[in-house]
Structure 1
Amino acid sequence: MKVSIEISYYPLLEDYKPTIKKFIAALEANPAITVKPNSMSTHIFGEFDQTMSAVTQCIKDAFEVPSSIFVLKVMNLDRNK
């Protein structure tokens, strides 16, 4: 099953941009998923198991930053068009 995920990441840091860029780069390093960042959120597309696994691992790694907030929307359809 294909899924589309929209993620907004809010690291509560004064210098937040490098942390967000690191998170996006970690997602983009996974060849099994498609990652499309924009100014408001990041969109991720792929097969359910691979996509959820990649997102879960990247969020876990990002939680090393204190006070990180994620907002996710998960859709069971392919919006990558």
Structure 2
Amino acid sequence: MEISVELTFSPLQDGYEPQIIRFIKALRESGLTVLENPMSTQIYGDYARVMEVLNQEIYTSLEGVEQGVFYLKMVKTDRSAYEPHF
């Protein structure tokens, strides 16, 4: 089953940039399709693989900060090729 996930990681502390950079680099190295913009990161791929990567990287990210929030949206389909039709 293919999925699309949009997420935002918000460490609640000063000096947060290194943790966000580490998280995004780990996603890029996962072999999944990863798209980034200034507001969020999107990950596309097989459900089991996406969840395996997110499970590990969210855990590692939360271990690296005193407090942090992840905002996540998921849809059951690979939307990576979406182009507006209007």
Name the TM-score, length of structure 1 as normaliser.
Answer: 0.93
User: CA RMSD of the aligned region, Å?
Assistant: 0.8
The answer for unaligned runs of 5 or more in structure 1 is: none
Q: Does 1:59 align with 2:84?
A: no
Q: Which amino acid aligns with 1:60?
A: Y
Aligned counterparts, 1:30-69, within 5 A: 30-31=30-31, 33-64=32-63, 65-69=65-69
Aligned to 2:84: none
TM-score, scaled relative to structure 2: 0.88
How many residues of Structure 1 are paired with residues of Structure 2 in the alignment? 80
> Percent of pairs identical after alignment?
38
| 1:7-46 matched pairs, under 5 angstroms | 7-31=7-31, 33-46=32-45
Q: Distance in 2 between matches of 1:77 and 1:15?
A: 35
Q: 1:68 deviation in Å?
A: 1.0
Query: Any idea what SS the aligned residue of 1:63 has?
Result: helix
Q: Which runs of 4+ in 1 moved over 2 A?
A: none
Residue type at the aligned position of 1:68? G
2 CA distance for matches of 1:3 and 1:54? Answer: 13
How many angstroms apart in 1 are the aligned matches of 2:51 and 2:75?
A: 12
- 1:60 deviates by 0.4
1:77 counterpart = 2:73:
no
Gaps of 5+ in 2: 82-86
